Homo-oligomer: A and B are copies of this chain.
Amino acid sequence: MAHPAEPPRFTGSGKLRPEEQIYQEMLGAILDRRLEPGMKLIEEDLAKTFGVSRARIRAAFLQLAHDKLINLVPNRGAFVAEPTIDEAIEVFSARRMIEDGVVRKVTTHMNDDQAEQIRAHLQAEHKAHHEGDHRAAIILSGEFHLLLARLANNLVIEEFLERLILRSSLIIAMYESPQPADCSHDDHDALLRALTGGNPDEATACMARHLDNIRDRLQLQREKPGKTDFASIFGRRPTSKAG
Chain A residues with CB under 8 Å of chain B are 1-8, 11, 17, 38, 55, 58-59, 62-63, 66, 71-74, 76, 79, 82, 84, 86-87, 90-91, 93-94, 96-98, 100-102, 105, 154-157, 160, 164, 227, 229, 231-232
Q: Which of B1, B71, B101 touches A5 (beta carbons < 8 Å)?
A: B71
Bound Cα distance A196, B152 (Å) = 31
Bound Cα distance A50, B107 (Å) = 51
Q: Which of B55, B72, B90, B229 touches A154 (beta carbons < 8 Å)?
A: B90
5 A–B pairs (Cβ distance < 8 Å), ordered by A: A3-B84, A4-B71, A55-B55, A59-B62, A97-B98
A4-B71, A8-B73, A90-B156 given. 11 additional CB < 8 A pairs?
A1-B84, A2-B229, A4-B82, A5-B71, A5-B79, A8-B74, A87-B155, A93-B154, A94-B154, A97-B105, A100-B101
Taken together, the copies of this chain in the complex come to: 2
Using Cβ atoms and an 8 Å threshold, which residues of chain B touch A93? Answer: 154, 156
Using Cβ atoms and an 8 Å threshold, which residues of chain B touch A227? Answer: 4
Chain B residue with minimal CB distance to A3? B84
Chain B residue with minimal CB distance to A79? B5
Q: Which of B17, B38, B63, B156 touches A74 (beta carbons < 8 Å)?
A: B17
Chain B: minimal CB distance from A122 (Å): 24
Using Cβ atoms and an 8 Å threshold, which residues of chain B touch A72? Answer: 7
The secondary structure that dominates the A interface is helix
A2 near B231: Cβ-Cβ < 8 Å: yes
The 4 closest A-B CB pairs, nearest first, are: A97-B101, A94-B156, A5-B71, A4-B82
A97 near B102: Cβ-Cβ < 8 Å: yes
Q: Which of B62, B82, B87 touches A62 (beta carbons < 8 Å)?
A: B62
Bound Cα distance A90, B84 (Å) = 32
B154 near A86: Cβ-Cβ < 8 Å: no
Using Cβ atoms and an 8 Å threshold, which residues of chain B touch A90? Answer: 154-156
Using Cβ atoms and an 8 Å threshold, which residues of chain B touch A59? Answer: 58, 62
Using Cβ atoms and an 8 Å threshold, which residues of chain B touch A17? Answer: 74
Bound Cα distance A58, B58 (Å) = 11
